[in-house]
């Protein structure tokens, strides 16, 4: 089991995140910009590191007909997501460790989305995952990653932690933060176009790339 899978398999860690998820400052701004950039005719989405399915619920709030596939590794998160979507046959929840290649029977998606999950993976795995995502995005589709990225200085990192009610001592040990610019470069190298940071507040950044 990967380090991130192990960390997030702890019910305490998963529940601690779920208890503060709504209080993270500015996150709703990033989520809202992400939703604005989903293609109009989105029919099928994949959410990587779905947690309790927060992003899928937000997306489906206005587009309930969308079909969604949700991936996570944490039993606590998977249980919570399954409860949320117990009455929605259009949401499929899959247990999978993202440190391993994506399952090859997922199919294709109009949008692959993720929020605050991929930064738990090793840097080389992040890059591989971006390539795997490119292969399963439809020709008119998009990849949207609302991500926890690295600060350019220790001072700004501590400022971010303080702003979200954390300190270096309380910081999530499973984080593997990487500068946004490096990840934008990887997305361009992978073949995504119109790649940019579409929203940012301190270490929270929305990275988007279109297939064409």
Ligand X SMILES: C[S@@+](CC[C@H](N)C(=O)[O-])C[C@H]1O[C@@H](n2cnc3c(N)ncnc32)[C@H](O)[C@@H]1O
Tell me the window of 67-75, 132-140, 175-183, 186-194 that interacts with ligand X (CB under 6 A): 67-75
- In the list 35, 46, 55, 142, the residue contacting ligand X (rule: CB under 6 A) is 55
- In the list 30, 49, 141, 209, the residue contacting ligand X (rule: CB under 6 A) is 49
Q: Which residue number, 74 or 183, has a Cβ lying nearer to ligand X?
A: 74
Distances (CA, A) of 193 to 123, 188, 209: 21, 6, 6
Give backbone dihedrals phi and psi of 201, rounded to 5 degrees, phi first: -140, 115
Q: Is 17 in the site for ligand X (CB under 6 A)?
A: yes
- Token pair in block for residue 212: 């064409």
- In the list 70, 73, 91, 129, the residue contacting ligand X (rule: CB under 6 A) is 73
Q: Is 80 in the site for ligand X (CB under 6 A)?
A: no
CA atoms within 13 A on the CB side of 31: 17
> What is the distance between the alpha carbons of residues 141 and 182, in angstroms, rounded to a whole number?
22
Are the C-beta atoms of residues 29 and 205 closer than 8 Å to each other? Answer: no
Q: Which residue number, 88 or 97, has a Cβ lying nearer to ligand X?
A: 97
Q: Is 91 in the site for ligand X (CB under 6 A)?
A: no
Are the C-beta atoms of residues 148 and 83 closer than 8 Å to each other? Answer: no
Binding region for ligand X (CB under 6 A): 2, 4-5, 8, 17, 21, 49-51, 54-55, 72-74, 77, 97-99, 115-117, 120
């Amino acid at each position: 089991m990967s380090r991130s899978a192990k960390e997030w398999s702890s019910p305490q860690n998963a529940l601690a995140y779920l208890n503060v998820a709504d209080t993270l400052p500015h996150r709703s701004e990033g989520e809202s910009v992400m939703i604005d950039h989903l293609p109009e005719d989105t029919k099928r989405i994949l959410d990587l590191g779905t947690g309790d399915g927060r992003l899928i619920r937000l997306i489906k709030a206005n587009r309930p007909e969308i079909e969604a596939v949700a991936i996570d590794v944490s039993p606590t998160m998977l249980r919570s997501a399954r409860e949320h979507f117990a009455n929605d046959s259009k949401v499929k929840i899959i247990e999978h460790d993202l440190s391993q290649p994506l399952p090859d029977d997922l199919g294709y998606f109009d949008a692959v989305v993720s929020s605050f999950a991929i930064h738990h993976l090793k840097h080389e795995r992040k890059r591989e995952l971006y390539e795997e995502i490119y292969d399963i995005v439809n020709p008119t589709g998009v990849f949207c990653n609302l991500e926890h990225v690295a600060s350019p200085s220790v001072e700004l990192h501590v400022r971010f932690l303080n702003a979200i009610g954390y300190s270096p001592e309380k910081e999530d040990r499973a984080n593997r933060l990487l500068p946004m610019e490096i990840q934008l470069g990887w997305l361009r190298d992978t073949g995504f176009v119109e790649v940019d940071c579409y929203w940012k507040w301190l270490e929270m950044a929305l990275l988007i790339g279109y297939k064409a």
